[in-house]
Amino acid sequence: MSFPQIGQTVYVNIRDSSEETGVATLKSRVSDIRDSIALIELPISENTGRTGLLDVGTACEIWYIAKDGSRYDFPSSVVGRELEPFPVLLLELPAAEKINRTQRRNFLRIETGVDIAIKMIDSVRSYHFVARTIDLSGGGLSFRCADSYRIGVGDQLHVWIALPGKTGQVQHAYAVLEVVRQVVEEERGYFQWISGKFIQISEVDRAKVVRACYERQLELRKKGIVE
């Protein structure tokens, strides 16, 4: 199993009655590892921008996206604080068998329409256009675009994704998408469907996408649209 590494972005889930879901998610980064203890920077709420004040003994769930593209999560608790040379929280690291792994191919895929900007750099086909996704996951996405764009399986596209948050703030993620499927409408002048997988995306940006998918799933679940 992959323990979080120094410099790794991690997310801290804690119970919070003020959140719609009853769970608040804070963002932090690992500053050091000591035996079975991870030192993390004071976590910050992405919704409010405020520092999360976690007391010693607070139970939480830690999750992160490793370099292999998999999501890892484990239960933990705050076991201490340090102030020098800068404030950090001390989190308990579990035994390896307590860390859960979600394979990249099993990333939660959600049907959702978010805005994306696409750029293709080719000696003949130099495209730059905007579209909306059909579905999205931490491993890739699908979208529709005019069939005048000659895009085929194996092509690589630069994609910028606009991810709306619960508070209306928009975060952006960048990835290189490799096309794995292309379906064209029978009549010219209509749309084609493009599906692809991320072959290049930073750990931070993949985490943004994964989190947006989970938030979208919770939203649909509240509306009774998904189980």
Here the CATH number for the domain that contains residue 132 is 2.40.10.220
d(CA 166, CA 173): 16
Which of 115, 113, 22, 104 is closest to 69 using CA atoms? Answer: 104
Q: How many domains does the chain have?
A: 2
My answer on whether 51 and 129 are in the same domain is: no
| Residue 158 or 51, more confident | 158
pLDDT number for residue 155: 92
My answer on whether 14 and 82 are in the same domain is: yes
My answer on whether 53 and 115 are in the same domain is: no
Phi, psi of 137 (to 5 degrees): -150, 175
My answer on whether 178 and 95 are in the same domain is: no
My answer on whether 119 and 50 are in the same domain is: no
Phi, psi of 215 (to 5 degrees): -65, -40
- Count Cα atoms within 13 angstroms, Cβ side, for 36: 9
Domain extent for 213: 110-222
Q: Which of 83, 104, 125 is the last residue of a domain?
A: 104
My answer on whether 191 and 207 are in the same domain is: yes
| Residue 54 or 31, more confident | 31
18: CB partners within 8 A, 6+ apart: 24
Q: Which range has the top average pLDDT, 7-21, 49-63, 128-142, 207-221?
A: 128-142
Average pLDDT over residues 132-150: 91
My answer on whether 115 and 202 are in the same domain is: yes
My answer on whether 30 and 132 are in the same domain is: no
Kindly state the tokens that stand for 212.
Answer: 């947006």
Tell how far CA 168 is from the center of its chain: 17
227 within a domain of the structure (yes/no): no
Average pLDDT over residues 98-105: 73
pLDDT number for residue 65: 79
My answer on whether 114 and 91 are in the same domain is: no
Q: Is the pTM of this model over 0.85?
A: no
pLDDT number for residue 16: 63
- Scored b (16 or more CB within 10 A) or e, 140-167 reads bbbbbbebebebeeebebebebbbeeee
**Percentage helix, strand, coil for the chain under 3-state DSSP, each rounded to 5:** 10, 50, 40
3 within a domain of the structure (yes/no): no
Phi, psi of 204 (to 5 degrees): -65, -45
My answer on whether 118 and 218 are in the same domain is: yes
Average pLDDT over residues 162-190: 81
My answer on whether 83 and 151 are in the same domain is: no
My answer on whether 120 and 210 are in the same domain is: yes
Average pLDDT over residues 87-114: 82
Task: Report the CATH number at residue 43.
Answer: 2.30.110.10
